[in-house]
Amino acid sequence: MINELLLQFAHWMEAQEYSQMLVAGYYSYSWLEATHVLTLMVSIGSLFIIDFRMLGWVMPNVPATTIAARLHKPMIIGFVIMFITGALLVYAKPVETIQSLWFRMKMILLLLAFINAWVFNNRLKSAEGNWDNDPVAPGPLRTGAIISLVLWCGVVTLGRYIPYDWVDCTNTTNTTILWAAGCVDQLNAL
């Protein structure tokens, strides 16, 4: 049911004039993709420095809250631009993207990364002050940092797989993969 609704929505988006313009423009799609990747480097790079500090791998003599406070603004700006350009990339090629197993797995990891970030920030605020100058953060914060690193590495890796068609709807007959990728037409044909 959800796959059918997503596919209908993707077909509707693909029929929009601006969606077609983004793909047809000589540089528009390439500039969008480049901006998405560059802001990914800013935001994920900032996040990794914070995570590495929690683990005691970088700048152990600098208070963790100082690093987090200084990197917060560029990280948030990077994330905002990254999500806007990511949404526009989906808007440019909605059917192809919505029916990508890699995209769907990326969205699941992205959701988990945001949940982890929310939990991590709450733990960071509640632990503030009593460990800030320690070279390594307390156990729960280190665990959150490791989970963050793993999830964001997965998001980036799966994002790089999206353009490749190893498991596109037309390249597989495995019903589980077809269902997971949202290949409604191919499933109905089987």
Q: Is the pLDDT of residue 127 over 70?
A: no
**How many angstroms from the chain centroid is the CA of residue 4?**
24
The total number of structural domains that make up the chain: 1
Which 3 state secondary structure label does DSSP give 59?
coil
**How many angstroms from the chain centroid is the CA of residue 44?**
10
pTM: 0.88
How would residue 86 be classed by pLDDT, with cut points 50, 70 and 90? Answer: very high
- Cα 116 from Cα 53, distance rounded (Å): 17
What pLDDT shows up at residue 180? 87
- Cα 189 from Cα 175, distance rounded (Å): 11
**How many angstroms from the chain centroid is the CA of residue 172?**
25
How would residue 129 be classed by pLDDT, with cut points 50, 70 and 90? Answer: low
Question: Rounded mean pLDDT of 70-89?
Answer: 95
The chain-wide mean pLDDT, for the chain, equals 90
What pLDDT shows up at residue 137? 87
Angle at the Cα of 90 from the Cα atoms of 14 and 111, rounded to 5 degrees: 140
DSSP one-letter code for 162: T
Is the model more confident about 108 or about 126?
A: 108
Give me the domain span that covers residue 128.
2-189
